[in-house]
């Protein structure tokens, strides 16, 4: 795919940065949405140096007004929207007896509310030509560690929202799918231990590029038979049985 207008939220760093770069290298027009203006503009400049097409729109995805502005800016600059990657997210891990209303709402507004409103406003610009929406959830929507209630609720909500939006947007030829990353290492990959890799059937920890390639796949119009789906990308980690001697 190429020459598409692709919006990626939370694109200034981490997995989002790799997703934005992957789409730009396929000769798409990339809209980098992030609250971090410095890193966002750095990425725009980096993409521009090798001839890619990208703009930055400062966006706090927890604010509906910012999301609506993002979609309007993308449409005005590139005359339409083809793909939305809802990637932005935060985590707050807290004992449930100590989790505050403020932190609960901060996580749910950033991780879940943003997915609905970004999808809504993007779909309004996709109406004539159709398009693709990819929501980045997490394997934590399927399994948990202690003290992860807010994050788990937000990621679990994304899965339900994904198939609901797929149903509602079907007449508009807009596909909606979710990716559930497992352990994706954004830091020093060489610092990982052998035991880290051995926790996976794939015998390695995931990399951001693994998620970026999946986004390219789901956004490709040739794969429009895939909608309302959940793609787990975790090296088989959630399917590996753990026995006491493994611990």
Which residues carry out catalysis? 151
- Phi/psi of residue 175, each to 5°? -85, 140
Give the integer Cα–Cα distance in Å for 46 and 228.
34
Give the integer Cα–Cα distance in Å for 155 and 180.
9
HSE, CB side, 13 Å, CA atoms: give it for residue 247.
4
Exposure letters 36-72 (e unless 16+ CB within 10 A, then b): beebbbbbbeebeeeebbbbbbbbbbbbbebbebbbe
SS3 242: coil
Give the integer Cα–Cα distance in Å for 41 and 56.
6
Give the integer Cα–Cα distance in Å for 144 and 152.
7
- Which residue is associated with the tokens 């926790």? 199
DSSP code of residue 70: H
- CB neighbours of 183 closer than 8 A, spacing ≥ 6? 196, 199, 200, 205, 206, 234, 235, 237
């Amino acid at each position: 795919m190429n020459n598409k207008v692709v919006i990626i939220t939370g694109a200034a760093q981490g997995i989002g940065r790799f997703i934005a770069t992957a789409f730009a290298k396929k000769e798409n027009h990339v809209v980098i949405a992030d609250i971090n203006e410095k890193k966002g503009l750095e990425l725009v400049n980096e993409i521009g140096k090798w001839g890619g097409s990208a703009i930055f729109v400062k966006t706090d995805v927890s604010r509906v007004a910012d999301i609506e502005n993002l979609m309007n800016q993308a449409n005005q600059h590139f005359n339409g929207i083809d793909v939305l990657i809802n990637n932005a997210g935060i985590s707050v891990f807290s004992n449930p007896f100590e989790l505050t209303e403020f932190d609960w709402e901060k996580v749910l507004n950033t991780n879940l509310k943003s997915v609905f409103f970004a999808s809504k406003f993007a779909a309004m610009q996709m109406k004539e030509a159709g398009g693709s929406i990819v929501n980045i959830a997490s394997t934590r929507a399927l399994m948990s560690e202690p003290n992860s209630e807010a994050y788990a609720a937000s990621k679990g909500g994304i899965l339900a929202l994904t198939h609901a939006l797929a149903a509602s947007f079907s007449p508009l030829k807009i596909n909606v799918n979710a990716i559930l990353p497992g352990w994706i290492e954004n830091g020093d990959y060489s610092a990982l231990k052998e035991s880290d890799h051995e926790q996976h059937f794939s015998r390695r920890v995931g990399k951001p590029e693994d998620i970026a390639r999946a986004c390219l796949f789901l956004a490709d119009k040739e794969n429009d038979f895939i909608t309302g789906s959940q793609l787990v990308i975790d090296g088989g980690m959630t399917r590996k049985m753990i026995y006491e001697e493994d611990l």
